[in-house]
Amino acid sequence: MIKIFNVAYKNLLRKKARSGLTIIGIALAAWVLVSLLGFNKGYESSLNRDIDNLGFQMIVTAKGCPYEAATLMLKGGTGLRYMPQTITEQISKEPEVEEVTAMLMQAVFDPNKGESGGYSAYLGVDPATFPQMKSFLEFKQGNWFTNPEAMEAVLGYEAAELEQREVGDLLLITEKNVEVKVVGILKRTGTQDDGTIFLPLKAVQKIFGIKDELTGIGIKVKKDANIAQFEEKMYKLPDVQVVSLAQVKQTIMTLVSTAKVMVFSIALIAILISVVGVINTILMSVMERLQEIGILKAMGATAWDIFKLIWLETLILCISGGIIGTALAMATAKLTEVMIRQLLPYAPSGGLVQINSALVILTFGVVILIGLLSGVYPSWKAGRVRPLEAIRSQVE
């Protein structure tokens, strides 16, 4: 076997340029395959993580226009109506619920923001439950509130950057003329939290004179719970509406699946091109060496020996291309990600291209399969060569 390998290897060396170009072709196909599959995996898991990082899978808001509810969930805007705080206890008693957190969003008009004024929004959160639910939030400076009624604020990174605030600084709620002290600056998360100013729920209720009322309740559902059934239960509550991230996630995933078909189509085209390239190269090589193959057979080589030799040459080309392509894909994963982010600025946060060992093994499997399949016809053709005819044809 080692001898056959050496012969096959040396045969490839005889036409370096052609062998090199074929390897590059296979490497490019492998690069495209690994990068596309890695992107597919990375995008899906980043999207999942971003949705999970919201901390809760469901938001219950006071009944009103569903677009306001969606805005509250996605953009952190204000809800138009309020619901009693007692609903929180009612919801937390449901068996599907792991945790709930009460929220009150308020906004004030600041006439000195921009040319014609602008709104500043404040999200009142329950210090006992919100930080636990959003345990992925990390602090650049400081920490959460010192007590549940403190006139203190925690700022998302972008909110702090815009307001140029650091821990110990004051923040003015203009319309109410109330000062709050900044006690924490969050690190960037890539989510809506970056632009949010958090205050203790009770402080917001006190500042804005809203007693025992909320604009939203975040619900973390148990992992094994039937979300659809639980949603139905929530809809039965009076004067509330439910915005479920499970629905949003499902819709996004349907869109992602459509994109997946495109991705796999491109990968399939790349594979087909490389298969045709390999067949062409090996077939050309066989036709050029007909006389040589004829002599080998005349010296006693069987059809199977010739078949193995040509097949091995194909495999060497494919495996070399596979190694280079996979290495290239791994080395340029970050660059690919940067380029994707340029094209898709609203792509989910985190690693968009995830190349793991399973993906590498899969790619090698595909590349070896390409080698085996594309080598069959040229090898079979070489094995069927009749020695005398082959030798004579070259002499003539």
Partner 1 sequence: MLGVTMMKTISLMFWAAAVLLIPAELLLAAVGCDLNDPDRDVARLFPGSTGYKTNYVAIDQKGGPPLLAQIEDRLGDKFQGLFETIDVPYTLYEVFKGKDKIGYIHGVNEKGQYGGIQVFVVLDLEGVIKNFYFQKLTSRYGKELRDPKFGEQFVGLTLKDFYNYDVQTGKTSGPSGVERIKNPVPEAQPDFKAALRGAKKNLILVDEFILGNKYLQYHKAGGEQKK
Chain residues binding partner 1 by CB under 8 A are 12-13, 16, 19-20, 23, 110-115, 140-141, 158, 160-166, 169-172, 174, 177, 179, 185, 188, 320, 324, 327-328, 331-332, 334-335, 337-338, 341
Q: Is 389 helix (H, G, I), strand (E, B) or coil?
A: helix
Q: Whole-number minimum distance, CB 109 to partner 1, in Å?
A: 12
For the bound state, the minimum distance from the C-beta of residue 164 to partner 1, rounded and expressed in Å, comes to 4
The residue (of 12 and 91) whose beta carbon lies closer to partner 1 is 12
Measured from the CB of residue 356, what is the shortest distance to partner 1 in angstroms? 18
- Rounded Cα distance between 177 and 199, Å, is 16
Shorter beta-carbon distance to partner 1: residue 177 or 254: 177
* C-alpha span between 249 and 254 (Å, rounded): 9
Q: Return the residue matching tokens 């170009």.
A: 21
With respect to partner 1, which residue has the nearer C-beta, 9 or 304?
A: 9
Residue of 140, 142, 131 whose CA lies nearest to 161: 140
**Cα 275–276–281 angle (5° rounding)?**
100
Beta bridge partners of 274: none
Residue 352: CB minimum distance to partner 1, A: 10
For residues 396 and 304, the answer to whether their CB atoms sit within 8 Å is no
Structural tokens at position 396:
């003539």
* Minimum separation from the CB atom of position 319 to partner 1 (A): 12
CB of 278: closest distance to partner 1 in angstroms?
17
Residue 177 CB coordination number (10 Å): 8
Which backbone phi and psi does 384 adopt, to 5 degrees?
-85, 0
Q: Which is nearer to partner 1, 128 or 172 (CB)?
A: 172
CA-CA distances (angstroms) from residue 239 to 60, 81, 87, 242?
A: 10, 10, 11, 10
Burial classification of residue 281, based on how many CB atoms lie within 10 Å of its CB (0-12 exposed, 13-18 middle, 19 or more buried): buried
Closest to partner 1 by CB, 19 vs 215, is 19
**Would you tell me the crossing angle of helices 303-331 and 290-298 to the nearest 10 degrees?**
130
Residue 182 or residue 271: which is nearer to partner 1 going by CB? Answer: 182
Least separation in angstroms between CB 158 and partner 1: 8
Nearer to partner 1, 166 or 305 (CB): 166
